[in-house]
C-alpha cells in the first residue's frame, strides 16, 4: 500500500508542479491559463485530434522503447536520433528502388530500416566493447556524424530527379510505390467509433508499436536474455560472476535498441512516402524523455508517449483560438520531465529510508524474541 | 627528447606545437592546389567557430572537475543564446553578454539542483535540460518577438585590431601592419605563419579575447588556488574533502553554475557576434562539441582550447571551401596524422593500434591520390570522427576526474 502511494505520488507531484509552473508562464505573458488549458482539452476531445495524437505518440513510444532497452542495463543510447534517421533514409531509398508485392515490399523496407539503424547503433557498441569508449560520448558524436554529415550528403545524392516539375515540396528521395506503404487502420478505429473525418488516417505503425511494447515486456521479464540484461544493469559484476558475458550483452543491447529505433521513421515514411527534405527531428531525444517519464515500463511509457503527443498536438489549436502561444506545450514537456525525474529520485530515497526503518524494526523485534 | 619537451614552460611548448602544426599545413599546401589552408580568413573563421565550442568545453571542465557530468551544456548554451540576444536588444551589447551568462547560469542551477541535491543521474538531468531549454527559448521568442525562431537584430560588443602586429590604431594613430608586410613577402612557411596569426589578431571580437584570457585564468584557478583544489576534490574524492571540512555540496553548486555561465557566454557569442540575432537551431550542437573538446583536451584548460581550435579549423575551412580542394588537402593532413599515431603506437609495442592507424592512414592517402575533391560529408563529420579516434587510440592516456558522475551524499563514502 505504501509502495503504491510512493510510486503514484511522484508522477502526480510532477504533474501538479508542471501545471503550477506553466500557469505562471502563461500568466507572466497575460494569457489566461483556464482558457488555454480548456481549449487544449476540448480540442483533444475530438476524434480527429485523437487520431493525430496517436499518430504522434507512435514514434514517441518506439523511440522510448529503443532508449529503454539501453537504460535497463545502464547503457545510455543517446544516439537514437541519428540511428533512426539513418534507417529512415536508407529504407526510403531501398523502398523506392524495388517493386514487390505489398507484404514483401513493406517487409523489405522495415527490415532495411531496422538493420541500418541497428548497425549504426552497433558501432557505438563495438567502440565500447573493444576500446572502452563511453557510449554517451560516442553516440552523441555518431548523431552529429549522421545528421550533419552523412544524411545531409546522402539526401543530395539520392534526391529524386524532378526534371521540370521542380518544386520545394517535391524534394526528397524518390516516392515509394503504393505497395510499400503501410496501410492505415482507420477501419479498425471506425468499428468502435464514428467515421474519421478531415482525411485523418491512423498509421498502421500504431499496431506495430503496440506489438513492440508487448515484445519488450516479454523479452525483459520472461526470457533469459531479458534477465541477463536487467542483471547486467543492476550489478554488472554479479552478472558477470553469474556467467553473463558483459561485452556480448552491451553489443546485443545496443543493436537491439538500434533495431527498434529503426522503426521510428516508418511512421513518417508511411505518411509521406519518401524521405522528405525536412524530416521531423528531435524524436530521438523526445523518446529519451518519454522513457524517463514512463520509467522504462511498457505501460508507463505508453502513457508518457500519449501525454507528450497530447501536448504536442492539442496545443496546435492555440494558434487559432489565440488563448496562448502553442510553445507552452513544449515547455510543459520539458518541465514535467525534469520534475518527474526529480520526484522519482525523491520517492526512491523515501522508500529506501522506509524499507531500512522497517528492516531495523523487524530486526529489533526479532532480537527481543531471542533469549539473551 | 620527451624530457626536454616537458621541461619547457607551457607557453613555449604550445608555441612549438603550433609551429609544427602550421609547418605540416604549409608542407601539404605546397603540393596541393589550394591556398586556403593558411589564409587569413581561415584563421578568422577558425576562431569564430572555436570560441563558443571552447566556452562550452570550459564550462564542462568546471562542472566535471567537480564530479558532475554535464550533457546539458547544449541546453545552457541555448539559454545563453536567447538571453544574450534579449539582453543585447533591450540593454545593449555588454549587458547582453552578462544576461546571456546569467541565462546559462539558470540552466546550471537547475542541473545542480537535480544532480547535487536530488541525486538524479547526471546524464538524465542533462537530457531533460536539453529538452527544456530550447522549449523555453521558443516560448519566450514567440511571446516577446512574435516568432518562435528568430529575434530582431542584436548589437555586438565590437572587435579589436592588435596594434603593430595587425595594424590596429592607438589613440587615433594607425600603427603599421607588420604581419601583413610579412605575409605579402610570400616567404615559404614564414608568410603562412604570418597570415594565420594575422587572422587571429585582426578584427578579433572582445568576447574571443575574453575567452582566450580565460585559459590562463582557469588554469591558475584550478591548479593554484584553494578554491581550485577544493573544486577538484569534489571530483576526485568527495568523502576526503568532506573529512577536511569542505562543504562539497556548495562547491559542486558553484562549479555547475559557473559551468552554465560559461556555456551561456558561448551562446551569447553565437547570437550577438556570429549571427547578429537569435535563431533557433543556431547552436548547431556546439554544446556537445564543447563536451568533445573537453575530452579531447583531457579535462585541462589549454587542451580544451586546442580541441576547440582544431574543430573550429575544420569547420571554418569547410565553410569557405566551396570547390572542396582544401578538404581534399586535409585528407593528406589526416594521413600524416595517422602515420604519426602509428609511429607512436609502434614505439609502445601496441600492435593492434599500429595496424589500425596504418590502415586508416593508408586509406586516407589512397583516397587523396585517386580523388581531386571530396564530398561535403568528409569535412562535416571530421571533427566528430577526430573525437572518436582520439578516444579509440588515446583513451588510456585520458584521465577523467575519478568520482565523475558518481552520486554524492553527505556522510557516505
Q: How does pLDDT run across A244-255, given as a tens digit for each residue?
A: 888 889 999 999
Where do the H-state alpha helices sit in B244-394? 248-269, 286-296, 301-320, 325-347, 351-370, 376-394
| pLDDT at residue number A168 | 64
Q: Which residues partner with B204 through β-bridges?
A: B160
The CA distance from B137 to the nearest CA of chain A, in Å, is 9
**Contact B114/A at CB under 8 A:** yes
Residue B379's region, left for phi above 0, alpha for psi from -120 to 50, else beta, is: alpha
Average pLDDT on B152-157 reads 80
Residues 6+ apart with CB under 8 A from B327: B317, B318, B321, B373, B374, B378, B379
pLDDT tens digits along B11-46: 888 888 888 888 888 888 888 877 777 777 888 888
pLDDT tens digits along A43-55: 888 888 888 899 9
Q: Which grid cell is B298?
A: 583531457
Interface contact B142-A325, CB threshold 8 A: yes
Average pLDDT on B137-153 reads 83
List chain B residues with CB under 8 Å of A150: 377, 381
For residue B140, give the chain A residue with the closest CA: A327
Interface contact B132-A78, CB threshold 8 A: no
Interface contact B292-A153, CB threshold 8 A: no
C-alpha to C-alpha distance for A195 and B278, rounded to whole angstroms: 45
Q: 531525444: which residue's cell?
A: A285
| pLDDT at residue number A368 | 62
Q: What is the DSSP string of B258-296?
A: HHHHHHHHHHHHIIIIIISS-BTTTTTTHHHHHHHHHHH
Q: Which grid cell is B353?
A: 593500434
pLDDT at B118 over 70: yes
| pLDDT at residue number A167 | 65
Q: B314 and B112 in contact (C-beta within 8 Å)?
A: no
Average pLDDT on B377-385 reads 84
Full 3-state SS string of A96-129: HHCCCCHHHHHHHHHHHHHHHHHHHHHHHHHHHH
Q: B68 and B256 in contact (C-beta within 8 Å)?
A: yes
Q: Which of A127, A136, A153 lies nearest to residue B388, judging by beta carbons?
A: A127
Q: A126 and A255 in contact (C-beta within 8 Å)?
A: no
Closest to B272 (Cα-Cα) out of B52, B93, B77: B93
**Contact B272/A at CB under 8 A:** no
Average pLDDT on B325-336 reads 86
Q: Which of A29, A132, A141 lies nearest to residue B143, judging by beta carbons?
A: A29
| pLDDT at residue number A370 | 55
Average pLDDT on A124-132 reads 91
**Contact B288/A at CB under 8 A:** yes
Q: Which of B118, B123, B376 lies nearest to residue A136, judging by beta carbons?
A: B123
**Percentage of chain A exceeding pLDDT 90:** 33
Q: A208 and A183 in contact (C-beta within 8 Å)?
A: no
For residue A76, give the chain B residue with the closest CA: B123
Instruction: Name which of A236-240, A274-278, B177-181 the model is least confident about.
Output: B177-181
| pLDDT at residue number B399 | 84
C-alpha to C-alpha distance for B310 and B102, rounded to whole angstroms: 28
C-alpha to C-alpha distance for A278 and A88, rounded to whole angstroms: 12
The CA distance from A170 to the nearest CA of chain B, in Å, is 23
Interface contact B135-A286, CB threshold 8 A: no
Closest to A267 (Cα-Cα) out of A91, A67, A58, A65: A58
Q: Which grid cell is A178?
A: 503504393
User: Which residues numbered 242-271 in B keep a CB inside 8 Å of some CB on A?
Assistant: none
List chain B residues with CB under 8 Å of A133: 388, 391-392, 395
| pLDDT at residue number A3 | 67
pLDDT tens digits along A68-79: 999 998 888 989
Residues 6+ apart with CB under 8 A from B5: B13, B16
- pLDDT-derived band at A315, boundaries 50, 70, 90: confident
- pLDDT-derived band at B296, boundaries 50, 70, 90: confident
- pLDDT-derived band at A256, boundaries 50, 70, 90: very high
Residue B159 backbone phi and psi in degrees, to 5: -135, 180
Average pLDDT of chain A, as a whole number: 86
Closest to A91 (Cα-Cα) out of A119, A114, A66, A122: A114
Q: Which of A127, A327, A346 lies nearest to residue B148, judging by beta carbons?
A: A327
- DSSP one-letter code for B160: E
More confident residue, B175 or A308: A308
pLDDT at A323 over 80: no
List chain B residues with CB under 8 Å of A138: 388, 391
Supply angle C-alpha B179, B182, B183, rounded to 5: 85
Instruction: Name which of B274-283, B340-349, B384-393 the model is least confident about.
Output: B274-283
The CA distance from B319 to the nearest CA of chain A, in Å, is 13
Please state whether beta strands B204-205 and B159-160 pair in parallel, antiparallel, or not at all (unpaired): antiparallel
| pLDDT at residue number A170 | 67
| pLDDT at residue number B43 | 83
Average pLDDT on A129-153 reads 88
The CA distance from B100 to the nearest CA of chain A, in Å, is 20
Average pLDDT on B210-218 reads 92
Closest to B61 (Cα-Cα) out of B223, B187, B183, B204: B223
List chain B residues with CB under 8 Å of A156: 376
C-alpha to C-alpha distance for A311 and A252, rounded to whole angstroms: 34
Closest to A15 (Cα-Cα) out of A333, A347, A305: A333
**Contact B319/A at CB under 8 A:** no
**Contact A25/B at CB under 8 A:** yes
| pLDDT at residue number B304 | 93
Average pLDDT on B210-239 reads 92
Instruction: Name which of A92-101, B343-352, B381-390, B393-402 the model is least confident about.
Output: B393-402
Interface contact A133-B291, CB threshold 8 A: no
CA dihedral A242, A247, A248, A251 (to 10 degrees): 140
pLDDT tens digits along A209-226: 999 999 999 999 999 989
- Most B CBs within 10 Å: which of A71, A89, A123, A149, as the mutation test of the B interface? A149
Q: Which of B131, B291, B292 lies nearest to residue A334, judging by beta carbons?
A: B131
* Structural domains of chain A, ranges and CATH numbers in brackets: 32-324 (1.10.3470)
Closest to B405 (Cα-Cα) out of A293, A134, A230, A126: A134
Interface contact A285-B295, CB threshold 8 A: no
Q: A258 and A78 in contact (C-beta within 8 Å)?
A: no
**Percentage of chain B exceeding pLDDT 70:** 99
Q: Which helix (H) or strand (E) holds B128?
A: helix B122-145
**Contact B184/A at CB under 8 A:** no
| pLDDT at residue number B223 | 92
Supply angle C-alpha B304, B308, B311, rounded to 5: 140
Residues 6+ apart with CB under 8 A from B167: B161, B174, B175, B176, B177, B180, B202
Q: Which helix (H) or strand (E) holds B132?
A: helix B122-145
Interface contact B380-A141, CB threshold 8 A: no
Q: Which grid cell is B89?
A: 536588444
| pLDDT at residue number B166 | 74
State the CB neighbour count (10 A cutoff) for residue A343. Answer: 22
Evaluate the CA torsion angle A66, A71, A72, A75 in order and state its sign: positive
Average pLDDT of chain B, as a whole number: 86
**Contact A349/B at CB under 8 A:** yes
Q: 513544449: which residue's cell?
A: A330
- Percent composition of chain B: helix, strand, coil (DSSP 3-state, to 5): 75, 0, 25
pLDDT tens digits along A275-314: 888 888 888 888 998 998 888 999 999 999 999 999 988 8
C-alpha to C-alpha distance for A260 and A264, rounded to whole angstroms: 7
List chain A residues with CB under 8 Å of B123: 76, 78, 136
| pLDDT at residue number A1 | 61
List chain B residues with CB under 8 Å of A23: none
Q: 573563421: which residue's cell?
A: B45
| pLDDT at residue number A20 | 92
For residue A146, give the chain B residue with the closest CA: B381
User: Which residues numbered 265-304 in A keep a CB inside 8 Å of some CB on B?
Assistant: 285-286, 288-289, 292
**Contact A40/B at CB under 8 A:** no
For residue A329, give the chain B residue with the closest CA: B135
Number of A/B CB contacts below 8 angstroms equals 134
Interface contact A338-B132, CB threshold 8 A: yes
| pLDDT at residue number B158 | 79
**Contact B129/A at CB under 8 A:** yes
- pLDDT-derived band at B203, boundaries 50, 70, 90: confident
The CA distance from B130 to the nearest CA of chain A, in Å, is 9
State the CB neighbour count (10 A cutoff) for residue B375. Answer: 15
| pLDDT at residue number A69 | 94
Amino acid at each position: 500500500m505504501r509502495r503504491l502511494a510512493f510510486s503514484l505520488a511522484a508522477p502526480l507531484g510532477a504533474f501538479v508542479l508542471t501545471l503550477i509552473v506553466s500557469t505562471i508562464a502563461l500568466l507572466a505573458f497575460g494569457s489566461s491559463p483556464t482558457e488555454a488549458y480548456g481549449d487544449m482539452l476540448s480540442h483533444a476531445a475530438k476524434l480527429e485530434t485523437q487520431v493525430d495524437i496517436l499518430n504522434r505518440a507512435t514514434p514517441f513510444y518506439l523511440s522510448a522503447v529503443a532508449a529503454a532497452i539501453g537504460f535497463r542495463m545502464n547503457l545510455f543510447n543517446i544516439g537514437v536520433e541519428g540511428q533512426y534517421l539513418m534507417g529512415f533514409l536508407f529504407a526510403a531509398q531501398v523502398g523506392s528502388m524495388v517493386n514487390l508485392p505489398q507484404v514483401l515490399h513493406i517487409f523489405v523496407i522495415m527490415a532495411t530500416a531496422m538493420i541500418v539503424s541497428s548497425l549504426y547503433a552497433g558501432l557505438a557498441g563495438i567502440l565500447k566493447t573493444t576500446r572502452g569508449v563511453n557510449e554517451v560520448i560516442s553516440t552523441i558524436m555518431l548523431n552529429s556524424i549522421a545528421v550533419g554529415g552523412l544524411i545531409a550528403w546522402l539526401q543530395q545524392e539520392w534526391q529524386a530527379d524532378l526534371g521540370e516539375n521542380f518544386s520545394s515540396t517535391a524534394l526528397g528521395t524518390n516516392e515509394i510505390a503504393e505497395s510499400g506503404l503501410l496501410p492505415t487502420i482507420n477501419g479498425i478505429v471506425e468499428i468502435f467509433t464514428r467515421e474519421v473525418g478531415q482525411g485523418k488516417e491512423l498509421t498502421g505503425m500504431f499496431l506495430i508499436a503496440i506489438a513492440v511494447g508487448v515484445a519488450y515486456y516479454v523479452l525483459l521479464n520472461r526470457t533469459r536474455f531479458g534477465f541477463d540484461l536487467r542483471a547486467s544493469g543492476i550489478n554488472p559484476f554479479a552478472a558477470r560472476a553469474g556467467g553473463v558475458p558483459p561485452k556480448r550483452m552491451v553489443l546485443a543491447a545496443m543493436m537491439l535498441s538500434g533495431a527498434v529505433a529503426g522503426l521510428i521513421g516508418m511512421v513518417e515514411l508511411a505518411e509521406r512516402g519518401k524521405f522528405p527534405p525536412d524530416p521531423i527531428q528531435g524524436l530521438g531525444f523526445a523518446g529519451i524523455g518519454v522513457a524517463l517519464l514512463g520509467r522504462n515500463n511498457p505501460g508507463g511509457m505508453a502513457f508518457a508517449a500519449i501525454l507528450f503527443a497530447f501536448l504536442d498536438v492539442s496545443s496546435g489549436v492555440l494558434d487559432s483560438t489565440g488563448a496562448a502561444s502553442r510553445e507552452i506545450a513544449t515547455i510543459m514537456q520539458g518541465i514535467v520531465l525534469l520534475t518527474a525525474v526529480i520526484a522519482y529520485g525523491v520517492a526512491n530515497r523515501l522508500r529506501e529510508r522506509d524499507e531500512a526503518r522497517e528492516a531495523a524494526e523487524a530486526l529489533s523485534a526479532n532480537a527481543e524474541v531471542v533469549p539473551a | 627528447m620527451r624530457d626536454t619537451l616537458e621541461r619547457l614552460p607551457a607557453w613555449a611548448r604550445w608555441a612549438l606545437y603550433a609551429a609544427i602544426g602550421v609547418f605540416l599545413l604549409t608542407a601539404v599546401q605546397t603540393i596541393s592546389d589550394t591556398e586556403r589552408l593558411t589564409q587569413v580568413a581561415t584563421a578568422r573563421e577558425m576562431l569564430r567557430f572555436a570560441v563558443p565550442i571552447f566556452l562550452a568545453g570550459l564550462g564542462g571542465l568546471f562542472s566535471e572537475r567537480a564530479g558532475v557530468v554535464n550533457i546539458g551544456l547544449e541546453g545552457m548554451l541555448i539559454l545563453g543564446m536567447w538571453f544574450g540576444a534579449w539582453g543585447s536588444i533591450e540593454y545593449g551589447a555588454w549587458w547582453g553578454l552578462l544576461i546571456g551568462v546569467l541565462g546559462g547560469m539558470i540552466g546550471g542551477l537547475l542541473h545542480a539542483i537535480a544532480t547535487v541535491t536530488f541525486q538524479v543521474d547526471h546524464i538524465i538531468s542533462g537530457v531533460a535540460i536539453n529538452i527544456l531549454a530550447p522549449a523555453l527559448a521558443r516560448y519566450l521568442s514567440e511571446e516577446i518577438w512574435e516568432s518562435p525562431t528568430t529575434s530582431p537584430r542584436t548589437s555586438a560588443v565590437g572587435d579589436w585590431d592588435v596594434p603593430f602586429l595587425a595594424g590596429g590604431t592607438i589613440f587615433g594613430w594607425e600603427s603599421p601592419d607588420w604581419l601583413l608586410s610579412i605575409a605579402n613577402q610570400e616567404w615559404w612557411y614564414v608568410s603562412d605563419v604570418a597570415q594565420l596569426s594575422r587572422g587571429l589578431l585582426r578584427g578579433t571580437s572582445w568576447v574571443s579575447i575574453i575567452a582566450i584570457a580565460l585559459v590562463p585564468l582557469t588554469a591558475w584557478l584550478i591548479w593554484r588556488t584553494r578554491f581550485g583544489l577544493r573544486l577538484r576534490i569534489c571530483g576526485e574524492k568527495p568523502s576526503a574533502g568532506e573529512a577536511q571540512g569542505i562543504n562539497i555540496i556548495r562547491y559542486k553548486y558553484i562549479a555547475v553554475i559557473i559551468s552554465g555561465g560559461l556555456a551561456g557566454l558561448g551562446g551569447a557569442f553565437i547570437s550577438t557576434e556570429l549571427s547578429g540575432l537569435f535563431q533557433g537551431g543556431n547552436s548547431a550542437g556546439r554544446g556537445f562539441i564543447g563536451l568533445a573538446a573537453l575530452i579531447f583536451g583531457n579535462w585541462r584548460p589549454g587542451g580544451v582550447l586546442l580541441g576547440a581550435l582544431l574543430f573550429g579549423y575544420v569547420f571554418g575551412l569547410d565553410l569557405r571551401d566551396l570547390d572542396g580542394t582544401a578538404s581534399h588537402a586535409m585528407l593528406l593532413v589526416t594521413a600524416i596524422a595517422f602515420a604519426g599515431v602509428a609511429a607512436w603506437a609502434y614505439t609502445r609495442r601496441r600492435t593492434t593500434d599500429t595496424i589500425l592507424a596504418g590502415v586508416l592512414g593508408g586509406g586516407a592517402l589512397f583516397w587523396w591520390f585517386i580523388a581531386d575533391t571530396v564530398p561535403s560529408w568528409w569535412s562535416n563529420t571530421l571533427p566528430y570522427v577526430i573525437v572518436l579516434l582520439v578516444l579509440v587510440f588515446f583513451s588510456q592516456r585520458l584521465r577523467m576526474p575519478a568520482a565523475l558522475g558518481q552520486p554524492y551524499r553527505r556522510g557516505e563514502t
